[in-house]
Structure 1
Amino acid sequence: MRFGKIGMLSVGLMAMSAAAAQTGAPVTATTLQQDFDAAAALDTKGDRASALAAWQRLEARTKPGSRSRGVAQIRKSAALFKLDRSDDAVTAARAGLALLPASDATLAEDRWHAYYNLGSIAENALDYAGASDSYASAEMAADAPDLKAASMLALANTKTFTDPAAAETALARADALLMPLKADGKLKALVARRHAILLLNRSAYEPARVYAVEAVKQLGGLTSQTTISDVSARSDAAIASLLAGKPDDARRYMAMTGAGRLSKGEFDPAVQMDVPPCGGEADLRPADMAVVEFSIGDDGVVSAVAPIYAAGGGAVALEFARAVRDWSWTPEQVKAFPAFFRYNVRIEMRCSTAFERPSITKFLDADMATWLESKGLALRTEERGADAVAIVRQRAALAAAEAKSGATSLAALPPLFQLANNAVVGREESNVLARRALAIAEAQGAPPTARLPLDVIVRQTSSADNWRDEVYARDITPLLSMPVYANDATARSAITLLIADRTNSRSRRGALLQQVADDKALAANDPLRVGALIRLASLQQQAGDTATARATFERSGLAANQCAILDAPPHFLSAGGVFPDEARMWGFEGWTKTQFDVDADGRVLHQRAVLSYPPFVFTKAGVQTVAGARWSKTFRPDGGVGCGGLSQQVRFKMPG
């Protein structure tokens, strides 16, 4: 496209240049169009830093408030996004969109790019609700079938994990749009994959299998030639076939992904590969499970993290995906992996029961509910995973409260609070809602612990990069210096715990946890003190200080039978289990990380897999292996569990 009404602008600039030459003023040697073309060429070349500088120079030459300034800002936003400057990219895109006249059809493509990039930024941050909002806007802005189709498919992908019914509707629109067009195999495969993943997550396994198999077919079938797209499509088919009760088909498709069949080396677990603790802010439960896909860079850093399937709902899927972002391999490990197998890796995950963590924000939410009840207002608690349904009622309740009592009335606070916490509401809207709710709470004299959950939401939704631990800690830390919170033991302890959970430095995290554990203003059995002690014991155990970890855990008042904090955990004596026949037949190799308890007689109880690679292939065998294991006896006066939360990795390797 041309850069606005560039012809008229160019003539004007050339006349200005001629006049400047006569007066001795600096001469502008290029037109806006030439600068635009040069910046676009740098984008195409992939020179990100130079492209950004070029777009910034072009922006400076445009008139403030003009459509040309808006286009330049949108292009600058895309360059910022490529340089991983997400917050700046969002700011530039929003500013640019505000300057594009809605009636100007010639700007449709730029408008689409802005919204689509905003969706990509949110999706990369695993803000699937915010991504869905932006992709929906991109669909509305698109003026070409290919752009509309791309928006619909991206929308379906993110809605799958926030609002499955809306994802189904988006896919229906994509099907109707593409039906009369001549789509190539890759596009048909992508559409089929979107259907398959949605159906998988809605527990419609056989229809999901049909779509997944169709995607493989559209990409050329089960040939020996394998692309990155083939790997994901075949893995979809393997998962769907297994869940649909067709294990032979599942193994066949999995074998043709290459997972578990490296030509050289082994796919080793990461050096940092923790699963999230059960409980916590996402209320993870031992039965929850997810398959997460990601890629590993040359430096061992994880990228392109995305949930694929979850038993437990979309919020569960996204929480497990967030945990994967913290994994890392050493560069030496990465060198041993064939490069192709570092892309679109998939791992099956469950939460850890070793040190279950009470939720800090849910504890604060209870204080908000108690205060509202004292004012004659109820804060309704939603069922798990019902946010997509609840949002309709919550928006209606807000509208009714505003109409009856006003936008700043106390009656508006409960629906505002619920909407700000709703998983279907995107980050930017959540920030606006939380700010409104916080202003009402402050005006109504809400106690510190009732105000705090809103202040936390405001700060954690203020940045597109807030998923990064250092950004989160930076944004939350100022709350500790606010007198309203600093002078309240519960509020300051909750803030300190939130910061500790997102602090990478072990020494700094330990110091923060110790502050809460030793806060004399908290009761001995205060939930926040208990939470701090559990976290601190886990940290001490990781550092190898078992005696201190045990003493810390005992202070929590909980049953101290965790394996990690015993002076003498039981010794491994023997293992059971066999190499799975199907895996042997197809030449699979892989591993599981298991978790289990051991009774006083050395028998294994409550065994479960928390990590499995490849997904589903060795999960059952890994669990059977530890189930048949025997450990030394551990004396317990009550004859109960001798050791809880033990972890063991089981590797499955082909002979020879």
Structure 2
Amino acid sequence: MVAPTLVILLAQAAPAVAPAVPPGASLQQRFDAANTAAADGRCAEALPLYAALEAEPKLARNAVAMAAIAVRKGGCQTRMAQVEDGEASIRRGLPVLEKRGTEFAVDVREARLRLGDAAQARFDYAGAAEDYRAALALATGIFRIRPLMALSRVTMFDGDGAAIRHAEEALTIATGDKLARKELAVVRTQYARALMNAGRKDEAYRALKASLKEQGGLTMRVGVDDIVTRSDLAIAARLAGDQDAARQYLAYTGAGRMRDTPFANAKQIDLPPCGGETGLKPDDMAVVEFSLADDGHVIGAAPIYTGAGREAALEFARAVARWSWEAADVAKIPLLFRYTTRVELRCTRAADRPALTAPLAEELAGWLAKEGVALPDPAGRSDAVLAPVQRDLLKRAAGGPARVAALAALADNSVVPAAERTAAWTEAAALSRTAGAPAPVRTYLAIRVAQQRADSGRDQRAALRALLADPAMAADPLSAATLRLLVAQPVYRAAPPPDALTLLDGVVDAPALPARHPLKVGAMLQRADLLAARGDLAGARAAFERTGLTEEQCALIEPRPAVRRAGGDANDYPMAAVQMGFEGWVRVEFDIAANGTTVVPRAIAAYPPFVFNDAAQGILRDARYTSSYRPSGNVACAANTQSVVFRLPN
């Protein structure tokens, strides 16, 4: 019973293979050869055979034969990660086979299972359940186990007990048919997981301990099924308040025991928002399991545990499906852990906070639209999925605005290596000049080049000053205001420049910008901070009041306070984690008070689950940021995030 995710990952590396079919073989022989290859899991051999059979004129008039070929071909396509094509092929042939009754019952059952797996992978758990029920209706005896297990997986967050009943029946069949102990353990683990999500934690803990025993106990030999059971045991032990046991079970999965924590290098981590349609609350927690493809995109994200219900569980999993790593970092992760990794998640309170360069970015988008350039809509796809699409688009973009657009899209992709991004921004900036782009467009691209090349905040400030000295950029109101504000803002462990007030006054008093332009508001806020730091509280209050915003609104506007002191030292590494050899990371969300202290840090993403949360929150609690002026001294900057990485010394 191999998980669908694992099958897909293994299929990635399987090239199409020319099948061994004797020359002059009959249609029946070719059909049998394709079926044998598919049944043996050799889909790379079966697919070319099925495709050739579909093209045979003699078969075109045989609706049943064509339907059987379509369904079996589609099954192989889904196993080879050609999910959309596979689903279409299955649905093309399935109605014909269903009308034939028991003659094709096995094909129909397998097809329904494949369709259910595909629906589950795209987070349509209701649709998956329908297909799995249809498969279950055609199954008897031991063949009921697979659809029962699948149904349990997609219903275990519904709170109606169905997931437990499905897993319980599967366990009864598995026990009665005397499956091998390890196979029986897989079924028992799913039963325990259904119990755990129903809140029956003590029963779940006992069942998982029995599953572990069936797998041979806590040995140093680790396979996918062992990792799954031990990971579930870590959750169950934590729910039972047995923290030492939770850490021990987690240690025996191998999680957090990879040198240099390659999982910490994620380039894109999306998290579901608190509130909204799902009604997620800050205390809602989920554990999500996923696999990583070689190119750094997530495959098969699936919720494992949450107490917040189905919609919340799926929202957490959808977020993880948009995560991305660089391919070079994925290569450092042992293959087994690319197949199955778990993270602990909570929702985020962060709202969109436009960058200071956002108005210039809008000018770029407007110029490209006028030039008739349209780029593919990301449509929720991760950067790792988009990168090859963007590289292909760049290859086909000959020059002018179309190439500027393609370069900018690729350069803005987080998984593209730094050198490639720098080269793309540099070429885009040069092309924008030769293409006659407006000054704001040229400024935006030049700023991105400076930001990409700078080794420090001071280096970036110097590069931005050089741009401000360019007569064309200084003469454009939007360009000049953006550059002045960027130069004036504080950077890591460096005070604002001596002429910061002069720079900010140039933004506030710019006649060409509207009174409530975002850059002017940002300059007023930063001006209030500087005046307060100099003891001019009356001037600070006047500058703040000119923004026309409430303190809560100001907390969501750039620029943000800069780090003055990073919290934490070697003593913050949890001793229990040291003893177990754990490394890992935690993303922490926190507010920054007007005096620069942090407020209510909370872990919102962690790997491995449950190990470093308290330590990471403590480190951020000790961090200090530049102070900000707020009349009542309230929060200056809400919902900031910072990743804390825990590495053991070599």
TM-score, normalization by structure 1? 0.63
- Which of these residues, 601, 612, 615, is aligned with residue 609 of structure 2? 615
Look up the match of 2:89: 92
Deviations 1:487-527 (A, max 9, x none): xxxxxxxxxxxxxxxxx88999xxxxxxxxxxxxxxxxxxx
Look up the match of 1:579: 573
- Which of these residues, 175, 179, 186, is aligned with residue 183 of structure 1? 179
- Which of these residues, 618, 634, 654, is aligned with residue 648 of structure 2? 654
8 A Cα contact 1:216 1:222, kept in partner? yes
8 A Cα contact 1:212 1:237, kept in partner? yes
Please give the residue correspondences for 1:133-172 in structure 2 after superposition, counting only pairs within 5 Å: 133-143=130-140, 145-162=141-158, 164-172=160-168
- Which of these residues, 224, 228, 233, is aligned with residue 228 of structure 1? 224
8 A Cα contact 1:570 1:633, kept in partner? no
- For 1:118 and 1:177, the matched residues in 2 are separated by 24
8 A Cα contact 2:561 2:625, kept in partner? no
Moved more, 40-49 or 591-600: 40-49
- Matched letter for residue 105 of structure 2: A
Please give the residue correspondences for 1:116-515 in structure 2 after superposition, counting only pairs within 5 Å: 116-143=113-140, 145-162=141-158, 164-262=160-258, 266-355=262-351
- Which of these residues, 49, 63, 73, is aligned with residue 70 of structure 2? 73
- For 2:233 and 2:560, the matched residues in 1 are separated by 47
- Which of these residues, 49, 58, 72, is aligned with residue 53 of structure 2? 58
SS at match of 1:274: coil
How far the C-alpha of 1:43 sits from its partner, in A, is 3.1
Look up the match of 2:554: 561
Deviations 1:451-492 (A, max 9, x none): xxxxxxxxxxxxxx998589xx9xxxxxxxxxxxxxxxxxxx
- Matched letter for residue 201 of structure 1: N
SS at match of 1:252: helix
8 A Cα contact 1:550 1:560, kept in partner? no
How far the C-alpha of 1:66 sits from its partner, in A, is 3.6
SS at match of 2:209: helix
Change (3 A) 1:467 1:67: farther
Look up the match of 1:600: 594
What root-mean-square deviation, in Å, do the aligned CA atoms of Structure 1 and Structure 2 show? 3.5
How far the C-alpha of 1:63 sits from its partner, in A, is 5.5
- For 1:82 and 1:239, the matched residues in 2 are separated by 30
- For 1:146 and 1:230, the matched residues in 2 are separated by 23
8 A Cα contact 1:604 1:630, kept in partner? yes
- For 2:166 and 2:575, the matched residues in 1 are separated by 41
- For 2:153 and 2:271, the matched residues in 1 are separated by 24
Change (3 A) 1:49 1:251: closer
How far the C-alpha of 1:208 sits from its partner, in A, is 1.5
How far the C-alpha of 1:39 sits from its partner, in A, is 1.4
Change (3 A) 1:83 1:555: farther
SS at match of 2:637: strand
How far the C-alpha of 1:579 sits from its partner, in A, is 2.1
SS at match of 1:560: helix
- For 1:46 and 1:332, the matched residues in 2 are separated by 30
Give 5+ residue unaligned stretches, structure 2: 1-22, 354-377, 387-408, 414-447, 453-459, 461-481, 487-516, 523-546
How far the C-alpha of 1:149 sits from its partner, in A, is 0.8
Change (3 A) 1:141 1:204: same
SS at match of 1:593: strand
- Identity level (%): 34
Deviations 1:89-137 (A, max 9, x none): 2232233221125564232211111111111111111211111111111
- For 1:92 and 1:557, the matched residues in 2 are separated by 57
Look up the match of 2:396: none
- For 1:41 and 1:264, the matched residues in 2 are separated by 45
- For 1:48 and 1:550, the matched residues in 2 are separated by 58
- Which of these residues, 26, 34, 48, is aligned with residue 29 of structure 2? 34
How far the C-alpha of 1:624 sits from its partner, in A, is 2.1
- For 1:467 and 1:602, the matched residues in 2 are separated by 35
- For 1:607 and 1:141, the matched residues in 2 are separated by 52
Q: Is 1:625 the equivalent of 2:622?
A: no
SS at match of 1:352: coil
- Matched letter for residue 555 of structure 2: Q
- For 2:548 and 2:338, the matched residues in 1 are separated by 44
Change (3 A) 1:466 1:147: farther
- For 2:231 and 2:73, the matched residues in 1 are separated by 37
Q: Is 1:108 the equivalent of 2:105?
A: yes
Look up the match of 2:19: none
Give 5+ residue unaligned stretches, structure 1: 1-27, 358-464, 474-503, 509-538
Deviations 1:549-579 (A, max 9, x none): 7669989988333376136445336448722
- For 1:507 and 1:267, the matched residues in 2 are separated by 21
SS at match of 1:226: coil
Look up the match of 1:384: none
- For 1:351 and 1:651, the matched residues in 2 are separated by 20
- For 1:253 and 1:591, the matched residues in 2 are separated by 19
Change (3 A) 1:83 1:342: closer
- For 1:312 and 1:549, the matched residues in 2 are separated by 38
How far the C-alpha of 1:266 sits from its partner, in A, is 4.1
SS at match of 1:299: coil
- For 2:292 and 2:343, the matched residues in 1 are separated by 13
8 A Cα contact 1:156 1:167, kept in partner? yes
SS at match of 1:62: helix
Change (3 A) 1:575 1:309: same
How far the C-alpha of 1:78 sits from its partner, in A, is 1.0
Q: Is 1:645 the equivalent of 2:645?
A: no
- For 1:549 and 1:48, the matched residues in 2 are separated by 57
Moved more, 154-163 or 240-249: 154-163
8 A Cα contact 2:142 2:177, kept in partner? no
Instruction: Tell me how many residue pairs correspond in the alignment.
Output: 459
SS at match of 2:176: coil
Change (3 A) 1:64 1:220: farther
- For 2:551 and 2:625, the matched residues in 1 are separated by 24
Change (3 A) 1:84 1:632: same
SS at match of 1:153: helix
- For 1:311 and 1:293, the matched residues in 2 are separated by 16
Look up the match of 1:591: 585
8 A Cα contact 1:200 1:240, kept in partner? yes
TM-score, normalization by structure 2? 0.64
SS at match of 2:633: coil
8 A Cα contact 2:262 2:329, kept in partner? no
- Matched letter for residue 39 of structure 1: A
Look up the match of 2:370: none
8 A Cα contact 2:260 2:647, kept in partner? no
How far the C-alpha of 1:83 sits from its partner, in A, is 4.1
Look up the match of 1:23: none
Deviations 1:273-301 (A, max 9, x none): 22233344434332222111111222222
